[in-house]
Amino acid sequence: MSRGAALLTVLTVALTAGCGPLSATHHVPGNSHQVATGAPDGRADAVITIAGGRVSPPSGWLEVAKGRQVGITVTGDVADELHVHGYDIEAELRPGVPVTVRFTADLTGVFEVETHRGHLVLTQLAVR
């Protein structure tokens, strides 16, 4: 193998090893891609806070098996609208008032959960 081909192979492996949409790096606690997994009863829940334009915990992944219940609770410091893409679920956010959306994850894929006015990505819902 030529030196150029070897370098290309190394770069390709390095770039794809940790950058897949659901790669192992997204499952390591403490990084910016924290994962919330389903509870023993099959539900997956996320509790998210928005303060000063920052999302806590930092935007990451919420993984759930198809057919399971999902609950996403969001508390923000400004009025906005919560939107679960793909499921077309929306909820009004009022300052300081927690809002919970619950639904059955019956569509597979990766769906962004965001705020409409603030354009903040709260989490990515991965349904398998």
Q: What is the pLDDT of residues 36-53, one digit of tens each?
A: 333 444 456 899 999 999
pLDDT at 3: 52
Q: What angle do CA 62, 56, 83 make, to 5 degrees?
A: 55
Is residue 9 included in any domain, yes or no?
A: no
* 78: amino acid identity, one letter: V
Q: How many residues does the chain have?
A: 128
The C-alpha atoms of residue 61 and residue 70 are separated, in whole angstroms, by 13
Q: What is the CATH number of the domain that holds 33?
A: 2.60.40.420
Q: Label residue 2 by pLDDT band (50, 70, 90).
A: low
Is position 48 within any domain?
A: yes
- Average pLDDT value over all residues in the chain: 76
Range of the domain at 64: 21-127
